Chains A and B, each alone.
Chain A
């Protein structure tokens, strides 16, 4: 793409020293391998918008954690944190995040709302957090996959980048077949449509297993993300977004966090 050199020049100029080699560093407690954080997919419309220097509009939609359950204040919901990280990392960029999360919503309901929200809010990027509630509502995985794919195709035709944020990791569902079927369906949809997929389950599982008793990402009910969980989620999303703005610069550099391998199959249980 002819404008790509310009994007890189702009980003290189605007990023801090640490960010010049990629996305901003993660907080120690949120460290996870790049492959566990996200897949690799381009964000062409966001890149172009940043190049032009306009205000980036991000629509955060979906279920549960979009609203920010478990966070002690509204300011600390993940969209609020994400905005801070993005603006800091992409200096000079201005991000406006419209939060339209409804807890417990299934993907079909979000997909219906999404069309109107996109038409009214005109975002450059849609952050769609989904999957957990479809698994709980026993929505057939093939229906779920169809909903996701048709929505992704529409967003693509509308020139909007998408970041999918996957299911959360919960020990309760480590052996739930339906949970895995929905997760697989989401991975397939993301791969088929080549959109960025934040592997929330894998990252949370990695952190939980590598920091037993040390890091509390959940509130004491064991499920809701607490402030720290939101911070990690926001960091991981920001990391994935920024890393994927650089995807073409180095043609999938190895060993760089965020520049990850293609989706790996989910393994149920331990």
Chain B
């Protein structure tokens, strides 16, 4: 098992944040990073995925051979796809069980579940096509598309080091100008996370992680960039606390370039993410030195991110029912938070126990 490290630490941090954000109305939800800045844990998570792909590909004596790289990434995409199918099925079962238990079919509508019960024929197909996504269970489909497409990143990187970023920015610009997004079906709508826009977040992680690549020159200016990051993060706090976002109706075309929109991971959100990265990179070393248990805790979650994410998402859904039954008092919300943390830690522990027992 790898020891605590910066990527796992922040990934763990993002996982806990996502869990809290996925219980609507939860008291602690008012204090997650999205209330203090423009971007949120989703950007961080996708950015770190790009970053760790770079480490996987290049952080070895020889870069990973292309065929192995492609196999590795596509099988990973497949694993995430299966995870999405399983948690969707479990979320539907949990939703149905909640409705049965509480004898209240209104719960069947929660989190965009209703189509699965009302139009099961179409929805069964939609779930497998990833065109039907339950609310809060919509980030893995994005992940599947990004990882499935990530070999393009690796291939273009080997042609020319700037190429992944150039292609990614070009696609991003086209999407923001046209507003194109994948449709959902059978429910009429659009993907909550537009993969054609979000791929830029991933590619930025991939580019910035390259210690020898074209953006590595930035590392020499770490200190001045940290000041810039501080400025960006401070601006994010002011904007978020003031609850400001530009009025989309008044904005010039193409509006998406100037909006603060999550579906399209608009530039303001990406700049804020980059400011966070500039400010907080290296902060892990301080955490590890001063408050080692915290470093270990988040790293443990981050090391097992897919499992922890899946179980955390399901627990968050269960918590929605819990809050309905028990009411949303601070006591209940504290219980939800503590039990959620314990559930995620136990999940990580079990996964690592399995790996350890197999190794020995």
Which chain A residue lies CB-closest to B136?
A109
Residues A95-133 near B (CB distance < 8 A): 99-106, 108-109, 112-113, 115-116, 118-120, 132-133
Known: A69-B114, A108-B24. A170 touches B106 (CB 8 A): yes
How far, in whole Å, are A98 and B213 apart by their CA atoms in the complex?
46
* 13 extra A-B contacts, CB within 8 A, seeds A64-B114, A105-B135, A116-B248: A69-B114, A69-B115, A102-B189, A103-B114, A109-B24, A112-B262, A116-B264, A118-B249, A119-B249, A136-B107, A137-B24, A138-B323, A224-B114
The answer on a CB contact under 8 Å between A104 and B249 is: no
Q: Does B259 contact A (CB under 8 A)?
A: yes
Among A157, A159, A224, residue most surrounded by chain B Cβ atoms (within 10 Å): A224
- Chain B residues numbered 177-201 whose CB sits less than 8 Å from any CB in chain A: 179, 186-189
Q: Please indicate the chain B residues that have their CB under 8 angstroms from the CB of A136 in the complex.
A: 106-107, 110, 324
| Given A115-B248, A222-B105, A104 contacting B110 (CB threshold 8 A) | yes
Docked CA distance A218–B281 (Å): 56
In Å, the complex CA distance between A222 and B103 comes to 10
CA distance A113 to B112 in the complex (A): 14
Determine the interface band of chain A, counting residues with CB < 8 A from chain B: 35 or more
- A63 to B179: give the CA distance in the assembly, Å: 23
Per-position 1/0 for B77-110, Cβ under 8 A of A: 0000000000000000000000000011111111
Q: How far is the CA of A222 from the CA of B104 in the complex (A)?
A: 9
Residue pairs across A and B with Cβ atoms less than 8 A apart, 9 shown, are A67-B115, A74-B186, A100-B189, A104-B109, A105-B135, A109-B135, A116-B248, A137-B320, A137-B324
Residues of chain B in range 238-277 having any CB-CB distance to chain A below 8 Å: 243, 245, 247-249, 251, 255-256, 259, 261-264
Pair B248/A104 contact, Cβ less than 8 Å: no
Name which residue of chain A comes closest to B106, CB basis: A223
Return chain A residues, CB-CB under 8 Å to B112.
102-105
Report which B residues bind A (CB closer than 8 A). Answer: 24-25, 103-115, 118, 135, 179, 186-189, 243, 245, 247-249, 251, 255-256, 259, 261-264, 320, 323-324, 327-328
Which residue on A lies nearest to B107, using beta carbons? A136
Query: Contacts of B114 on A, CB cut-off 8 Å?
Result: 64, 67, 69, 103-104, 224
A27 at interface by CB-CB < 8 Å: no
> A18 at interface (Cβ–Cβ under 8 A)?
no
Given the contacts A69-B114, A99-B188, A138 and B324 also touching, CB distance less than 8 Å: yes
B188 touches A139 (CB 8 A): no
Note all chain A residues with C-beta closer than 8 A to B328: 138-140
For A112, the chain B residues whose CB sits under 8 A away are 262
Report how far A103 CA is from B105 CA in the complex, Å: 13
Q: What separation, in Å, do the CA atoms of A4 and B328 have in the docked complex? A: 49
A251 sits at the interface (CB 8 A):
no
Given contacts A109-B24, A115-B261, contact A221 B324 (CB under 8 A): no
Task: Using CB atoms and an 8 Å cutoff, list the residues of chain A in contact with chain B.
Answer: 63-64, 67, 69-70, 74, 99-106, 108-109, 112-113, 115-116, 118-120, 132-133, 136-140, 143, 150, 154, 157-159, 170, 172, 221-224
Q: Which residues of A contact B327 (CB under 8 A)?
A: 138
The 7 closest A-B pairs by CB, nearest first: A119-B248, A104-B110, A103-B114, A138-B328, A158-B249, A221-B105, A104-B109
A158 to B255, CA, bound (A): 14
Contacts of B320 in A (CB 8 A): 137
Q: Which residues of B contact A115 (CB under 8 A)?
A: 245, 248, 259, 261
Considering only CB atoms, which chain B residue lies closest to A61 in the complex? B189
A residues near B179, Cβ cutoff 8 Å: 120
- Docked complex Cα distance between A112 and B264 (Å): 13
- Residue numbers in B under 8 Å from A170 (CB-CB): 106
Q: How distant is B175 from chain A, measured CB to nearest CB, in Å? A: 12
How distant is the Cα of A172 from the Cα of B99 in the complex, in angstroms? Answer: 12
Interface centre among B110, B115, B264, by most A CB within 10 Å? Answer: B110
B245 nearest CB neighbor, chain A only = A115
B256: which A residues are within 8 A, CB to CB? 116, 119
If A67-B187, A136-B106 touch, whether A103 touches B115 (CB-CB below 8 Å) is yes
Contact partners of B248 in chain A: CB under 8 A:
115-116, 118-119
Q: Given A109-B24, A120-B179, A140-B25, are A133 and B262 also a contact pair (CB < 8 Å)?
A: no
Residue with the highest number of chain B CB atoms closer than 10 Å, among A69, A100, A101: A69
